[in-house]
Chain A
Amino acid sequence: MSSELIIKFLVAAVLAGTPFLFGTVGEILSEKVGHLNLGVEGMMAIGACAGFMAGYVTDSFVIAILAAAAAGTLAALIYGVLTVTFMANQNVTGLTMTIFGTGLSNFVGVYMLERSEGGTLKLPERVTAQMRNIDIPGLSDIPVLGELLFSYNPFVYLGLVIAVLAGIYLYKTQTGLNVQAIGENPAAADAAGIEVTKWRYINILLSGAICGIGGAYCSMIINSGVWLRDSVGGLGWISVALVIFASWKPINVIYGSFVFGALRVLKYYVPKNTYAIPTAFFDALPFLITALVLVIASMRKSKRSHIPAHLGVNYFREER
């Protein structure tokens, strides 16, 4: 591969990995308070739809992002009410959220398509202009580095900022310590005077907002501003698995998501004729590697593992 191609590949990897950046950081926030949310895919789908449609209707990129975050938050609210207050099974609630969210997203998509001109939905020029890569004068012009580090669309930077902020929140503040205690031992957190329910809601809703924005990336960027069904298409699920890969640390998500982004785009950069590897293999690769990561992570489980001890278990204060 020529160096030019390598740079292209790396840039493509960053772009392909960005959905994970959102999805995984979001899921970490939820898992840290003990809530395994398998609805990431659904929350992202809802965010994808809300973001795209808001951009389509209002001509504003900022409103699109806000709408995606708000829709993701609403979806997370459903999950939160059911699992926190109604103590419903987290696995089933999350799965239902995925089916519901994907269905709703596609449903609204068809609804809008039927009412569109020409049978396609395309984001207005004004919005695409705002999503274009940010040119940072001076920095973006540096050869190689400029292209590698300073030539992305605003989502990428937003994702990085969110990951860093989430890392500081969880691991550097007193609030973060309190929040982590909830996922580890809610009864202990409760007895220590931490408002378990309140913080569970806060984290779950934040998680929804972040996933929603990640969804908007899928619908608005990946298909170059044209609405397509199932634009999230399993990326939410990989995000859930990536949490393990990142051992519950938002900072690790940054490189984790770009590794997986690289896997997604690898097929376009492997010389076609030299190896007779079918494209289906490359398409399956992120999922294969994720499965592998799951196995490896489970092989080296220990007492000090990073998985929140009470993940997936609802908490009822009066339970004895």
Chain B
Amino acid sequence: MTEQYAIECRQITKAFGSVVANDKINLTVRYGEIMALLGENGSGKTTLMNMLSGIYHPDSGSILIGGKEVSINSPVDSKNLGIGMIHQHFKLVDVFSAMDNIILGSHGRRLNRKSLREKIEELGHSFGLEIEPEKKIYDMSVSEKQTVEILKVLYRGAQILILDEPTAVLTPQETEKLFAILRRMKEQGCAIIIITHKLHEVLAISDRVTILRKGKSIDTVVTGECDEKKLTELMVGRPISLNIDRPRMENRETILKVVDLTVEKSDKTIALDDISFDIRTGEILGVAGVAGSGQKELCETLTGLMVAKKGAILYHKENIVGKSPAEIIRLGISMSFVPEDRLGMGLVASMGMVDNMLLKSYSEAKGPFVERGPARELAEKLIDKLGIVTPGVDMPVRLMSGGNVQKVLLGREIESSPQVLITAYPVRGLDINSSYTIYELLNEQKKKGVAVVYIGEDLDVLLELSDRIMVLCHGQVMGIEDADRLTKEQVGLMMTGARAEEVLGAGDDRVQKSDECMDAPGCVSDEGEEEKA
């Protein structure tokens, strides 16, 4: 008699067109257990979980829930089997209240608001979740939205909980809180699957780990018996060093100086609130912050896409606020911007590489016609230089993989030899190899003396890659510090509104140690290692 698992996946296979996303995957989870599903971006984690939640249907293989073979054809089936999934991109109706979102999909009459409210509050209480049932989703922070998602699942009495990258958008402190809730749910007998690619979180929360690589299940190990190194090897398939280089450049000069900058969004709410900082050549300035803290507006204001309400951006004492991107270029500042929304902003999804190369340079050609010749050459050059995989330069870029799309975008921006390079979440959705290629490209630019602004969400990467870190919270600058003076926890506190002075004052010994490091090159990466362990 085999053990009865909460979930058992046998030989699950799923292909999208010609891409096999899941190839004969096996997975088991027990009740009262937290299972971590570890794998790089594109390894098939989300696909697998979407089959459990009824979003996709497997091409072959079988799924057993509570020992019984089932066929999950829709989210309704999944719900009826007691499976609840919390997606990476929250599935909430913005204009509804938390309460309406929680009861969404119920049948029968609507309960009266008062009793419903009590029921939800009680439920929240038993798991230590705080919530305002009447609050609209559009007024909520990311972590509040996540709480609603969790309550939604609990309200339906789910026994199996799947969380897809739940910590990607949380601060370290919020992550701790989430983990506490997960542990409590585990005690109550829930089976929990948590998808992540952050190793230290796997070690912190899970009982067992299943590792996926390139759509195949590689191994399942007991968390207590492994360390980061072993997990990395399993995940990537070979031993690699997880350190990111941080070459130190001499003679850094301020190239752009931002003074008292205030920016309003189109709905008149304040996006950036009186911020000042400077951007230096030969340096990577990391920008940290909870999603929506003003990062997007910062990029767009710097590049002239948004107009500031107040304040100045000085380039050699000349204020470029109010100038259009074209005028800024005419001033001789060549600024490149790699936006977070690659196919929605940086590239034209339905056009091929050639036409995308033209995007920012098409107007330079003389006469009324566009010149596709040089663009074609550039596209071919990039394919060679960056190892871009595509069947042809005229193939729509939306059909390319995420890593290749990012290379096209970053490649085009770098080819214009910018003095300032602004990148927003450049490695989002990329696998480890592609991510490291991107880090190398950025470091290369830095060595050439380019001033790089790196907006990121993975604090480990931010702290290792950047020379200085600026933390944003609600459009305000919480502090700008040398990256090696900060710990992840300190950045996390600043992201939720603590000032650098308060935070750094609290962790004195850390700061001390970092200071010592400053003079000793090579000490930097050791420090990084220590922090992770």
Contacts and interface: CB of A to CB of B under 8 A. Distances in A.
Q: Decide if A and B touch, CB cutoff 8 A.
A: yes
A76 to B, nearest CB: 24
B95 A189 contact: no
Contact of B96 (A173, A181, A317): A181
Contacts of A190: 55, 74-75, 91
B267 interface: yes
A195 to B, nearest CB: 7
Contacts of B267: 302-303
**Chain B interface residue count: which class?**
20 to 34
A178 B105 CA distance: 6
A187 B91 contact: yes
Given A303-B267, A318-B56, A174 B106 contact: yes
Interface string A184-197: 11011111111100
Contacts of B108: 174
Contact of A185 (B94, B107, B152): B94
B105 A194 contact: yes
Contact of B95 (A178, A184, A193, A195): A184
A304 interface: yes
Interface string B228-260: 000000000000000000000000000000000
B79 interface: yes
A309 interface: yes
Q: Which of B76, B93, B108 has the largest number of chain A CB atoms within 10 A?
A: B93
B109 A181 contact: no
A177 interface: yes
Interface residues of A, number: 24
A177 B91 contact: no
Secondary structure at chain B's binding surface: helix, strand, loop or mixed? loop
B152 A192 contact: yes
B104 A178 contact: yes
Interface in B203-231: none
B120 to A, nearest CB: 15
Contact of B79 (A174, A193, A317): A193
B103 A185 contact: no
Q: Which of A172, A174, A187, A302 has the largest number of chain B CB atoms within 10 A?
A: A174
Interface in A166-214: 172-174, 177-178, 180-181, 184-185, 187-195
B110 interface: yes
Contacts of A172: 110
B94 A184 contact: yes
A93 to B, nearest CB: 21
B94 A309 contact: yes
Interface string B252-278: 000000000000000100000000000
Interface string A279-320: 000000000000000000000001110000100000001100
A185 B110 contact: no
B138 A185 contact: no
B467 interface: no
Given A181-B93, A302-B267, 15 more contacts: A181-B104, A185-B94, A188-B91, A188-B92, A188-B101, A189-B93, A189-B104, A191-B75, A191-B87, A193-B78, A195-B74, A303-B138, A303-B267, A304-B138, A317-B56
14 contacts: A173-B109, A174-B109, A177-B100, A178-B104, A188-B91, A189-B104, A191-B87, A192-B91, A192-B105, A193-B76, A194-B104, A309-B94, A309-B95, A317-B55
Interface of A: 172-174, 177-178, 180-181, 184-185, 187-195, 302-304, 309, 317-318
The 6 closest A-B pairs by CB, nearest first: A192-B105, A188-B91, A191-B91, A193-B105, A193-B79, A192-B104
